[in-house]
Amino acid sequence: MQTEAVYSSDLTFNLEIWKRELKFHLSELDMFQKKLEEIAGREDHGQSSLDLENFQNRILIERDAIGKLLHRCRAKLGNLHSADHYKNIDGQVQYEKRPLYDDLKHYIKLHYDFKEDIMEFFLKWL
């Protein structure tokens, strides 16, 4: 993901990979949500109530962020599908890719920070 894409086919490949990764994160969030519900159903969860609510809110926020990033990826793919995949792309399309890439990189960092936090919580309560 560090190298500059020169062709629209390269950008299409990158966007498809990013979409798959975001969808994988959605499936992880589903699993996290199920475990949180399992913990909430226990009688002994006591002081974890605030943590449970915090994690559930963070899951909602992450789902929203993923939805927005997926929408941006799909919109970018729509623009690229109308181009010839093997011709050199112009500077504007290349420039437009950068903010999306930066936003995805930032989201992924935040997701793994969240994942670390929730896994520590699970270790404590499971």
**Which is nearest to 85 in space by CA: 4, 7, 1?**
7
* Residue 3, in any domain of the structure: no
Greatest Cα pair distance, the chain, in angstroms, is: 62
**Which pLDDT band holds residue 86 (cuts at 50, 70, 90)?**
low
* Residue 2, in any domain of the structure: no
Domain holding 24, by residue range, is 8-125
Rounded mean pLDDT of 38-66?
A: 88
CB 108 within 8 A of CB 20: no
* Residue 1, in any domain of the structure: no
How many helical (H) and strand (E) elements, i.e. helices and strands, does the chain have? 3, 0
- Please state the domain count of the chain: 1
* Angstrom distance (rounded) from CA 45 to CA 40: 6
Residue 89 has pLDDT above 60, yes or no: no
Contacts for 55 with CB less than 8 Å, ≥ 6 apart: 32, 36, 117, 118, 121
3-state class of 7 per DSSP? strand
3-state class of 82 per DSSP? coil
| Mean of all residue pLDDT scores within the chain | 84
Residue 103 has pLDDT above 70, yes or no: yes
Rounded mean pLDDT of 26-50?
A: 86
pTM exceeding 0.85: no
**Which is nearest to 17 in space by CA: 99, 113, 109, 100?**
100
* Residue 114, in any domain of the structure: yes
Residue 20 has pLDDT above 80, yes or no: yes
- Give the single-character DSSP code of 26: H
